[in-house]
Structure 1
Amino acid sequence: MHYEVLGVVWMLAGNADRDRAGDVLKAAYAEGRLTRDEYDYRVGRALAARTVEELQQLTADVPNGPSAMPPTYHRPHPQGQLVPFQQQPVVPYAPPRRPQNSAATAALICGLISPLVWGLAAIPAVILGHKARAEIRRTGEQGEGAATAGLVLGWLWLSLGALMMLFIVA
């Protein structure tokens, strides 16, 4: 089955295609060509792949993948002569970029502007920092550093505000 997006026709992947890609990745892992994390990541992506092209991207840089053929392979020429096979260039594998967690960015901004607004943004910085860290652990998004920085700045401004209140009262 095929479907078209923006004028490009994509062939849908079947279970057999996903199984073959999994076997290729398993062999590459067994040979030490992939780390455990990379193997787990690629197998997960292979199981979720919708198109054959996605599977080819996941296996293109390991032997026995869809685009890997031995250079000694010959194909018959129309006149019956053997012509050396011209191997297609292998596109290097690059994992997709993980999105930035928006709550982490908001926590950092709130932590940074807290002194400008008399510490009023410190409470949202702490709340958003905790929320962002939980989301990042669950979804694998980027932004752990921003969430932690917002959290630390929020607690810092809250503690400085509490100390100021103690000095004023005393």
Structure 2
Amino acid sequence: MAFQPWQGGQPAQNPYQVPAMRASHADRERAVDVLKAGFAEGRLGQPEYEQRIARAYQAQTHAELQMLVADLPQGPVPQAQFAPRPMPVPTTFLPMQMPMVQPTNGSATGSLVCGLLAPVTWGVTSIPAVILGHKARAEIRRTGERGDGQAVAGLVLGWLGIGAWALFILVMVLVTAVRP
């Protein structure tokens, strides 16, 4: 007996063919869903849709169900021309772009610390405060680092310490010169 494809809507009998897998209720419902989508998209007319639905509920095998939905898309069809354009995200919902924070100049910090320690160290750190302050201001102008206020404060405190020492030495010289 020769194998013949479909005859009259029924599968041909082939003695060499493995029996077809039987369809479950869930399989029939999936096929009906595909038919409903095809009808809703305008791919099937009303009479053909009703005929295929009736045959889907009567189908006994997966092959019968596949025959009913073979010419319809089985899932979402990509539709690039109808794809919604992404809406722009308001800037209030975007993550903030934090500005890059410049580091503080180390010489400026050193100048301030030396200037603050000058009264405690009897003015010994006044000269390093002035040197570091001038060095820091030059580096800050060149690199754009932070710390100019610290450098200025270190310079002021350093010069005040140097001035205090100069005044002390001047007074000592005058006192010794006046004494006979």
Alignment TM-score, normalising by the size of structure 1: 0.51
For 1:102, which of 97, 103, 106 is the aligned residue? 106
Q: Which runs of 5+ in 1 are unaligned?
A: 1-76
- Cα distance in 2 for partners of 1:142, 1:135 equals 10
Pairs within 5 Å for 1:156-167:
156-167=160-171
Give secondary structure in 2 for the equivalent of 1:115.
coil
For 1:124, which of 128, 145, 149 is the aligned residue? 128
Q: Does 1:83 align with 2:84?
A: yes
- Cα distance in 2 for partners of 1:126, 1:84 equals 63
The 4+ residue runs of structure 1 with deviation greater than 3 A are: 86-94
**Which structure is higher in strand share?**
1
Larger-gyration structure (1/2): 2
CA shift digits 1:98-157 (9 cap, x unpaired) = 000000000000000001011000000000000000000000000000000000000001
How many pairs align? 94
Corresponding residue for residue 157 of structure 2: 153
Corresponding residue for residue 45 of structure 2: none
Alignment TM-score, normalising by the size of structure 2: 0.49
Deviation at 1:169, TM superposition (A): 1.4
Cα RMSD, aligned residues only: 1.8
Give secondary structure in 1 for the equivalent of 2:84.
strand
For 2:147, which of 143, 148, 162 is the aligned residue? 143
CA shift digits 1:30-50 (9 cap, x unpaired) = xxxxxxxxxxxxxxxxxxxxx
- Cα distance in 2 for partners of 1:116, 1:92 equals 45
Residue type of the alignment partner of 1:153: L
Give secondary structure in 2 for the equivalent of 1:117.
coil
Pairs within 5 Å for 1:51-70:
none
Residue type of the alignment partner of 2:83: L
- Cα distance in 1 for partners of 2:142, 2:104 equals 13
Aligned identity (percent) is: 51
Residue type of the alignment partner of 2:116: L
CA shift digits 1:62-96 (9 cap, x unpaired) = xxxxxxxxxxxxxxx82443324143554443320
Corresponding residue for residue 54 of structure 1: none
Pairs within 5 Å for 1:30-49:
none
